[in-house]
């Protein structure tokens, strides 16, 4: 149990998927202009990443390994993620319309979110057990959401600041993300 | 489209150079650029996938039904990513290990899918090949430059292939590497500053 807590803390803070591993940076910059969209994206990622992490782990260990098809990992994972996203979208639309309206446009975007694919590949590369894979998938997603929401808060304030012309927009966003990354970097000594 | 072949090729090198002009493909640009060698290696792997997938997508553009086109593009791209993965494991294992998770992640690199959707699905094979090669080399150039900058400041060396070709410490004995540049926060800040520099040059 203690090991799992250490793993969880390291995935949320020390190895934060956005700020330390650099996965999922396109939606990080794309959806962080407004707080609402950031919260929507964060929730959609938590939802899909946990399911994708579990399903890809099962597929890898019960389908690809026994039949010696490990070299097909990349194509298998992306197909699983794409169809999972499609399935989740249809399921939510039918049975939980309120949640569907909330996540809305962010669900299809997740297919090309490399945080999802990346976390699944890391689970396999590090040879995690099923429980560890479940915990890492969930905590990576929580770390993603935390960083995204914090960053959206900062970015809303930047709108009020007078930024020099060449630094405007993406440029200042990247520098800000660097400073945010520095604060997460300070957790490095913990684990 | 009356543009010439060279125009399609050259636009990727400056006008639409990723990840600066097209803000796509940021993850590998931030993740692997701790040295020039890694940046160039990642860029070339992406170029190969871009070129091949662009050619195949444009050849099949009349066969693929519009409704399932994204799924088809992803399968085409994933196939070439696996090719690169296996080739690199066989011939450049050290580089493959240094790039790690970012090689399989070319499959979700928005640049590749973006070019397939925005360009290759509407143009013929030769133009698509020129576009893929141009954008790919532009990406290699950008990653190489960012990697080189971070490596010089952060480690005091410059590595293009194999061993370092250049070491600041031997020229200036008092030089202390600025570790920050090769660590995670440095990646964001240096990319942001490079973008700022490009905006400055471009606005004149």
Taking chain A, what is the end-to-end CA distance rounded to the nearest angstrom? Answer: 15
Residue B173 is assigned to a structural domain of this protein:
no
In sequence order, the 6+-apart residues with CB closer than 8 A to the CB of B55 are B120, B125, B128, B129, B132
3-class secondary-structure state, position A14: helix
- Compute how many other C-beta atoms are within 10 angstroms of the C-beta atom of residue A92: 20
Instruction: Kindly tell me the sign of the dihedral angle through the C-alpha atoms of B14, B16, B19, B20.
Output: positive
* Six-digit token string for B142: 């950008």
Q: What are phi and psi of B158, to 5 degrees?
A: -140, 120
CA of B44 to nearest chain A CA: how many angstroms apart?
Answer: 19
Query: Chain A residues with CB inside 8 Å of B25's CB?
Result: 26
- Compute how many other C-beta atoms are within 10 angstroms of the C-beta atom of residue B204: 4
Q: Which among A25, A72, A112 is the nearest to B113, CB-wise?
A: A112
Rounded CA separation B117/B167 (Å) = 43
- Judge residue B1's burial from the number of C-beta atoms within 10 Å of its C-beta, 0-12 exposed, 13-18 middle, 19 or more buried: exposed
pLDDT in the model for residue B1: 46
pLDDT in the model for residue B3: 66
Contact flag B184-A72 (C-beta cutoff 8 Å): no
Q: How many domains does chain A divide into? A: 1
Contact flag A75-B78 (C-beta cutoff 8 Å): yes
Q: Which residues of B touch A (CB under 8 A)?
A: 23-28, 30-31, 71, 74-75, 78-79, 81-82, 85-86, 100-101, 104-105, 107-110, 113, 183-189, 191-193, 195-197, 199-200, 203
Residue B184 is assigned to a structural domain of this protein:
no
Domain residues for A141? Answer: 2-189
Residue B203 is assigned to a structural domain of this protein:
no
Residue B200 is assigned to a structural domain of this protein:
no
pLDDT in the model for residue A45: 86
In sequence order, the 6+-apart residues with CB closer than 8 A to the CB of A107 are A44, A48, A85, A88, A89, A92
Query: Chain A residues with CB inside 8 Å of B34's CB?
Result: none
Residue B140 is assigned to a structural domain of this protein:
yes
Upstream peptide bond of B140 is cis (omega within 30 degrees of 0): no
CA of A87 to nearest chain B CA: how many angstroms apart?
Answer: 14
pLDDT in the model for residue A134: 92
Q: b/e string for A157-187 if b means 16 or more Cβ within 10 A? A: eeeeeeeeebbeebbbbbbbbbebbbebbeb
Contact flag B27-A82 (C-beta cutoff 8 Å): no
CA of A126 to nearest chain B CA: how many angstroms apart?
Answer: 11
pLDDT in the model for residue B45: 92
The DSSP H or E segment spanning B166 is strand B166-167
Q: Which residue in this structure is represented by tokens 């915990």?
A: A135
Low-confidence ranges of chain B (pLDDT < 70): 1-3, 21-23, 162-164, 169, 203-204
Q: Which among A74, A118, A174 is the nearest to B82, CB-wise?
A: A74
What's the predicted TM-score (pTM) here? 0.84
In sequence order, the 6+-apart residues with CB closer than 8 A to the CB of B52 are B80, B83, B132
Domain residues for B16? Answer: 5-147
Residue B201 is assigned to a structural domain of this protein:
no
Contact flag B105-A24 (C-beta cutoff 8 Å): no
Q: How many domains does chain B divide into? A: 1
CA of B130 to nearest chain A CA: how many angstroms apart?
Answer: 25
Instruction: Kindly tell me the sign of the dihedral angle through the C-alpha atoms of B159, B160, B161, B165.
Output: negative
Instruction: Kindly tell me the sign of the dihedral angle through the C-alpha atoms of B9, B13, B17, B21.
Output: negative
Closest C-alpha among B55, B126, B129, B41 to residue B85: B41
pLDDT in the model for residue B108: 83
Contact flag A172-B192 (C-beta cutoff 8 Å): yes
Q: Which among B108, B183, B189 is the nearest to A78, CB-wise?
A: B108
CA of B81 to nearest chain A CA: how many angstroms apart?
Answer: 8
Query: Chain A residues with CB inside 8 Å of B82's CB?
Result: 71-72, 74-75
Low-confidence ranges of chain A (pLDDT < 50): none
Contact flag A121-B105 (C-beta cutoff 8 Å): yes
Per the rule left: phi > 0, alpha: psi between -120 and 50, beta: everything else, B64 is beta
Residue B168 is assigned to a structural domain of this protein:
no
């Amino acid at each position: 149990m203690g090991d799992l807590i250490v793993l969880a803390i390291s995935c949320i803070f020390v190895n934060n998927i956005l700020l330390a591993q650099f996965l999922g940076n396109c939606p990080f910059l794309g959806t962080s202009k407004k707080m609402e969209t950031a919260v929507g994206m964060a929730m959609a990622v938590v939802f899909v990443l946990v399911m994708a992490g579990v399903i890809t782990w099962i597929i890898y260990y019960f389908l690809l390994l026994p039949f010696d098809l490990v070299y097909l990992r990349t194509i298998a994972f992306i197909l699983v993620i794409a169809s999972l996203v499609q399935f989740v979208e249809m399921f939510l639309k039918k049975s939980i319309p309120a949640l569907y309206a909330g996540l809305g446009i962010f669900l299809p975007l997740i297919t090309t979110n490399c945080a999802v694919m990346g976390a699944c590949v890391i689970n396999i590369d590090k040879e995690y057990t099923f429980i560890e894979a479940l915990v890492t998938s969930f905590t990576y997603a929580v770390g993603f959401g935390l960083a995204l929401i914090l960053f959206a808060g900062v970015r809303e304030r930047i709108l009020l600041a007078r930024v020099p012309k060449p630094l405007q927009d993406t440029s200042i966003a990247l520098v800000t993300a660097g400073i945010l990354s520095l604060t997460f970097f300070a957790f490095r000594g913990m684990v | 489209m009356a543009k010439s072949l060279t125009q399609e090729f050259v636009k990727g090198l400056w006008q639409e150079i990723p990840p600066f002009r097209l803000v796509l493909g940021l993850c590998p640009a931030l993740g692997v650029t701790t040295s020039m060698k890694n940046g160039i290696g990642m860029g070339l792997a992406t170029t190969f996938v871009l070129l091949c997938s662009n050619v195949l997508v444009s050849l099949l553009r009349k066969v693929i039904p519009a409704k399932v086109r994204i799924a088809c593009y992803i399968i085409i791209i994933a196939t070439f990513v696996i090719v690169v993965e296996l080739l690199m494991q066989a011939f450049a294992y050290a580089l493959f290990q240094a790039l790690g998770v970012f090689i399989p992640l070319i499959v979700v690199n928005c640049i590749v899918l973006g070019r397939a959707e925005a360009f290759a699905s509407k143009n013929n094979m030769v133009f698509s090949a020129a576009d893929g090669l141009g954008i790919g080399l532009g990406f290699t150039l950008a990653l190489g430059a960012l990697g080189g900058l971070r490596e010089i400041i952060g480690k005091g060396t410059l590595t293009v292939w194999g061993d370092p070709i250049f070491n600041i410490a031997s020229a200036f004995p008092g030089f202390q590497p600025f570790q920050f540049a090769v660590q995670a926060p440095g990646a964001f800040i240096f990319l942001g500053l490079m973008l700022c520099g490009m905006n400055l040059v471009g606005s004149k």
